[in-house]
Amino acid sequence: MNPEDELKDIENVTGESSDSAEDIEEFANDASSDFDNEIPEDIEGVAPRKSSKGPIIAIACVFIAAIIGVVVWLGLKDKEGKGKAALKSEDYYKEFTYDAYTPEVATNSDAEKYYSDTVTTYNEMYSQVGMAFYEKDESRNNDKVAEGDTVSVSYAGYMDGVQFEGGTGTSNQLTIGSGTMIPGFEDGLVGVAVGETVSLNLTFPEDYAKTPEYAGKAVTFDCTINYICKETSLTEENAYSIIFGYDTRDACIDAIIAYLNDNPQTTEEDYMMGVKDDYIKYVVDGAEYDKTIDAKIQERYETVYKMYEDYATNAGIDVDTIAQQMGYEDATGLKENILDVCGVQVKAEIVFAQLAEKEKITMSDEDYHSYAYECAYGAGYNETDEQGNTDENATIAAYEQEYNASYGEGMLDTYIKTVYYENTLFDKYAKVKE
């Protein structure tokens, strides 16, 4: 079980929501986006125990990157007109070919790298938030649980004889006396022997805010003490057990290979998105632009980069920190990437508009609505009517009003039409290599 999943299981039966738990959950959510080595459910095992609160410096870079990525694609209103592009050849945009998608086949080396990267990721992640790793203490197999022990416990919660959502946990690490669980849960495990199962008849607190519908309700937890833990360090020699939950490293590597084959790092959908990006770049590079193009790109770049600066100021950090959270050494790499992307998109708006006119491509009202709603919904907008049903027109209107107010009248329209032209031309002319 990975840190996020364990946290959700434990917090659903927590007596009170602690700042530590909320911070760890926020960090885990950020970390799962920043790192590629989250432990999948089908190869995960026992999760390390989360303990004390540590300083959280992880910034929601995925969120801001998504926003700014959209801004780059949407573009800014061009006060001087769209500019012109001269096609280097009349029909070059019809001649793009690409290799067919071939599913990846994971090797033992791939699995070993995944395993090693996971160890590094977890050590970095736990170090930043002050979490500890635990493993089974073989010397205490015949002991009973005492106050202060960290144990591996499996439990199932029942209300009116029926298991309820969030009330079940398998091999969760729990420190007795930590106050993590609802009142009576941890006290009820004191004196229980390893391997023993006990039923705890408890009541959720009246002010239980985590899941308000459980407040004040009677609940029974059937709990089994799997073993008593001891604190340890995470290494490549024990990660197969501590992180993945396997008896041997070989079994763990086999499971990782199977997982990687079932869940390729590049899916066919991801691959085709990359191919489409290549097509856009191919079309953009196949045209020459008028002398105003550099100024337009620079204006776009300055506006987008200012968003990073404003975000950094509001967060009390600098742009270098944001850049590092996004995988760059410092802001220099981030600036270069923004400039590159702005260059492609400014040119794409010009050349694809001309090609659409050349090809007599028009966008129907139905297609425009569909694209606009998808864009608005993806940005988090979801207006509803009096009956609580989604109102697509109101959703689009709310998004369009706020977006255009922020970035200039007509920007959303430019974005939607550019993407439609790109998709239409790609679908019509891009071909798999024979």
Residue 10 lies in a domain: yes
Range of the domain at 361: 71-98+291-432
| Phi, psi angles (nearest 5°) of residue 131 | -90, 155
Do 325 and 219 reside in the same domain of the chain? Answer: no
DSSP state of 144: B
Give the pLDDT band of residue 405 (cuts 50, 70, 90): confident
Nearest Cα neighbor of 343 from 296, 375, 378 is: 296
Residues 182 and 325 both lie in one domain: no
pTM value is 0.60
- Residue where the block lists tokens 């604190």: 231
CATH number of the domain encompassing residue 21: 3.10.50.40
What per-residue string of b and e applies to 154-174 under the rule 16 or more CB within 10 Å gives b?
A: ebebbeeeeebebbbbbbbbb
- The helix-helix angle for 411-429 and 61-74 (nearest 10°) equals 80
* pLDDT (tens digit per residue) in 200-221: 999 999 999 889 999 999 999 9
* R_g over Cα of the chain: 27
Q: Do residue 50 and residue 77 come from a single domain?
A: no
pLDDT tens track for 325-374: 999 999 999 999 999 999 998 999 999 999 999 999 999 999 999 999 99
Retrieve residue 343's tokens: 């260059």
Same domain? For 235 and 157 the reply is yes
List the one residue out of 163, 423, 411 whose CA is nearest residue 279: 423
Same domain, 39 and 76: no
E strands, 315-387, are: none
At 404 the pLDDT is 78
Helix (H, G, I), strand (E, B) or coil at 172: strand
- 92 and 131 in a single domain? The answer is no
- State the DSSP string of 233-285: ---TTTHHHHTS--SSHHHHHHHHHHHHHHS-SS-HHHHHHHHHHHHHHHHHH
Q: Is residue 267 part of a domain?
A: no
pLDDT tier for residue 19 given thresholds of 50, 70 and 90: very low
Q: 3-state DSSP call for residue 173?
A: strand
**Measured torsion, CA atoms of residues 136, 139, 140, 142, in degrees rounded to the nearest 10:** 120
